Chain A
Amino acid sequence: MSVVEKADTARAQVRARRPAVRWGPALRAAAGEAVPFVASFVLLAASWEAMALWLRSPLVPDLSAILREFVTICESGKAFREIWVTFYRMGLGFLLAVALSFPIGIASAVSRKAERFFEPGVILGLTVPGLVWALLCVIWFGVSIASPVIAVALGVLPSMIITVQQSVRSLSSDIVEMTRVFRLKRITVLRRIWIPLLYASTISGARVGFSIAWKVIVLVEIFGMSNGVGYQLNSQFSLQSVEGVIAWTLAFWLAMMAVEYLVFRPIETSANHWKKSAYE
């Protein structure tokens, strides 16, 4: 057996001993969790419908009007196109924030001087409402792609820096001391200790960051863009179409749920498979 084959079989054996996913109980558990979720949704819809029937006002459209509008924007494919545009801008801004948060967060965690240098900026960033970034970027960069990307990056960056900084600090000095006593190579310490640690703990921060990104992008699209979910919400608003505003909100909410359950949750689960709490 070659070295590579040996390593592969060994790796396969390691994998085989990890706890296997059992689908039966997992599905039953998911069904159990779905009950309160469905109940809250049904109650919300029923209350809305009751209110609509009682008020009989064009400002409170009934469920059938909202659903009709929702089906229209989905069937025409408009909802998918616009949501894609919004996600694309969010994603670019978000990636820019992640890329910047690593050097700044790591520096702030290991050096008191760097922390003092970046701290006022981070606190400023946490304090400034997303609205201000949206307005400033639209003024500075106009309708170019730079507006949404930079506004989102500025909005997300402070919380991502704090996440990275805290995750670097979370490595106990005990482990650092162990690597010194065993005189482990720097590259090994980076590859086997720091990168997995940062990966696991920034995933949770990324979820929060992504929801901040949405709150910024919608404003940029209202003020400065001629497409995207924010633009659509604004144009429905100017038509005084309440069902339009709600239908677009609903569509985007579903898209965000899909990202949460199909992207973030699976990545988070796989990044934390070594934690006992992940199985409780």
Chain B
Amino acid sequence: MSSHIVIEGLGKAFAPRGGRRPAVIFDGLDMRIEAGQLVALVGPSGCGKSTLLNLIAGLDAPDAGAIRFDGRARDSRLAMVFQQPRLVDWLTAEENIALAFEREGTRPPGDARETVRALLRKVGLTEHSGAYPQFLSGGQRQRVAIARAFAVDPDILLLDEPFSALDELTARRLRLLLQSLWGEADGPRPTGVLVTHNMLEAALLADRIFVLNGHPGHFAAVMDIDIPHPRDPEDPALFAIHREVLHALGEA
């Protein structure tokens, strides 16, 4: 397996207004993410998890160091699921998903409609294909957002606390949905980065957990999770990993 995303000597600081000392988020962070793996970034809030994800997404630029994708400066097909669904309110569920096909430098696939239909079926929204986001529940909207991310057949899938704005029961269903979509991807699985503060969620979904902590942020631990997919959310082994992560953070 080759490293898909390589981060070397990453530096990032935010200068607060008023000339106070800049807050150093990262100072020489290194990270390698293997192709086809889903890695989780966990850690306390404010440790730079989301900043790191935004840097990978290209929404922000590093002050030092580099992020490379298969040795290239830019990824080919990157998709993201945000904490909020971020759907366009005046487009239907179907149209929101199809929007992802309109990527710079690409043409929508010839069977775009069929692809959207298949995705809607997979996320359980066949009945709601023509519904506008404001008429969907929070969980349904996030299902559309997940379908939109998978629509581009992503090489890299970034997940920024995708279930934390949902009630626990809905979040649980969507975690299992994500697990099954990941498992049944045709062709090579995407490389995934999941930011979460829910360590059980990380243990359920990730192949490897990076525990981020401190200022500037560094990896307090990197754990490989060797339990085969799909995993059972009630598996006691997941709770053991949960304890281990807490331990790495100095909490247990």
Contact = CB atoms under 8 A, between A and B. Distances in A.
Interface of A: 6-7, 10, 13-18, 174-175, 177-178, 180-185, 188, 192-193, 196-197, 200, 273-276
B129 A182 contact: no
A218 to B, nearest CB: 37
B219 interface: no
Q: List the 4 closest pairs (A to B, CB-CB), nearest first.
A: A17-B130, A188-B102, A276-B134, A274-B132
A185 B90 contact: no
Given A16-B130, A174-B86, A182 B57 contact: no
Interface residues of B, number: 32
A27 B86 CA distance: 37
Given A185-B103, A188-B102, A274-B89, A17 B135 contact: no
B100 interface: yes
Given A14-B130, A174-B84, A192-B99, A183 B104 contact: yes
A182 B99 contact: yes
A21 to B, nearest CB: 16
Contacts of A6: 113
A276 B90 CA distance: 11
Contacts of B134: 274-276
B129 A14 contact: yes
Contacts of B148: 182
A182 B130 CA distance: 22
Contacts of A192: 88, 91, 95, 99, 102
A185 B102 contact: yes
Interface of B: 57-59, 78-80, 82, 84, 86, 88-92, 94-95, 99-100, 102-104, 113, 129-135, 148, 152, 158
Contacts of B91: 192, 274
Contacts of A175: 86, 88
A6 B90 CA distance: 22
Contacts of A193: 88
A260 B69 CA distance: 57
A180 B90 contact: no
A173 to B, nearest CB: 10
Contacts of A174: 82, 84, 86
A181 B152 CA distance: 12
Nearest to B102: A188
B59 A180 contact: yes
26 contacts: A10-B113, A13-B129, A14-B130, A15-B130, A17-B129, A17-B131, A18-B130, A178-B82, A178-B86, A181-B79, A181-B80, A181-B158, A182-B80, A182-B103, A182-B148, A183-B103, A183-B104, A184-B103, A184-B104, A185-B103, A192-B95, A192-B102, A197-B90, A274-B89, A275-B89, A276-B132
Contacts of B86: 174-175, 177-178
Given A182-B148, A183-B104, 8 more contacts: A175-B86, A182-B79, A182-B100, A183-B103, A185-B103, A192-B102, A274-B90, A274-B132
A52 B214 CA distance: 84
A267 to B, nearest CB: 15
A183 B99 CA distance: 11
Contacts of B92: 14
Contacts of B102: 184-185, 188, 192
Contact of A181 (B57, B95, B132): B57
B156 to A, nearest CB: 11
A14 to B, nearest CB: 4
